[in-house]
Amino acid sequence: MLEGSFPVAHLNPILHSLVHFAAETARVGSLAWVSMNSFERNNKRMKPMVRSNVHPEASLANATQIDIAARAETLDEVLRETEPPALFKFPTRPPGMYNPTRRERYCLNMLGEKGFGCIRSYNVAWVQGIHFCCGEWGKQTCGSIFTTVYRDRSVYGILDRFMLVNGNEFAAVTWLSRPIYPYAPFTVVVKVRRTKNQPLNRCVIQCDRIEPCGVCVMPDEDGIHYFMMRDRGHDRPLI
């Protein structure tokens, strides 16, 4: 029916994808979770750089070398004109006042904070230019996941709220389980789950402990675990 909807001489480039759509969706799930936007965008950038179809790899290598050299010439000027992102940045709208829980007060005391007369709470913050948003866990677009380093290994958690205490920035967090690397030694993709032993972990951390990188989330088919993939940097697995 689809082929009959187009002229005979018309080639539909999307037709082949539609043929496999049902089978692939049944096999791997929704395409919104397995899309490769970054991969395709990189291909779109590299294809025009190939000038010779006879030797595509050599042509791409030469074009990349020229591109790097051109960018290096202007790098110094760009660094002078561009200001580095602020370490922390909160929204300019008036924040809400927050009364911390007993456990959060204990954790703040462990971090050196003594007075809790005025604590302001934020849901959105920028850490070195990276946007984080609390309360998005479970949604298709989730900005609440962060990663940090604890005892020389990478751990993951969920941001519950940002707090400004006596001029210092903190974040109330819910920790996820110990990361598992299903594709080791490839440490970009990790597998975690929600954990119940939260009282054993400190529920408040300083914002400078948050690594400035976004984390993509994909639920596992078992309904318990989640796959995490950071968009920059690499993990420090426990050896």
> How far is the C-alpha of 38 from the C-alpha of 50, rounded, in Å?
19
pLDDT over 90, % of the chain: 11
Question: In sequence order, what DSSP letters do the residues of 26-57 get, joined into one string?
Answer: HHH--HHHH--HHHHHHHHHHGGG---SSSHH
CATH code for the part of the protein at 88-230 = 2.30.30
Check pLDDT > 80 for residue 85: no
10 against 221, higher pLDDT: 221
Confidence of residue 145 (pLDDT cuts 50, 70, 90): very high
* Average pLDDT value for the chain: 80
Check pLDDT > 90 for residue 128: no
Question: In sequence order, what DSSP letters do the residues of 175-220 get, joined into one string?
Answer: EBPPPB-TTTT--SEEEEEB-S-GGGS-SEEEGGGS-S--EEEEE-
All structural domains of the chain with their residue ranges: 3-81, 88-230
Q: Whose structure tokens read 């920028």?
A: 126
Parallel, antiparallel or unpaired: strands 96-97 and 119-122: antiparallel
Check pLDDT > 90 for residue 156: yes
Q: Return phi, psi of residue 69, to 5°.
A: -65, -40
Supply 146's token pair. Answer: 């962060």
Check pLDDT > 60 for residue 109: yes
Provide the pLDDT for residue 101: 87
Which range has the worst mean pLDDT, 11-15, 35-39, 86-90, 207-211? 11-15
Computed from CA positions of residues 179, 184, 185, 190, in that sequence, does the dihedral angle turn out positive or negative?
A: negative
Check pLDDT > 80 for residue 55: yes
Provide the pLDDT for residue 32: 67
What's the one-letter identity of residue 85? P
Check pLDDT > 60 for residue 136: yes
Confidence of residue 173 (pLDDT cuts 50, 70, 90): very high
Provide the pLDDT for residue 92: 62
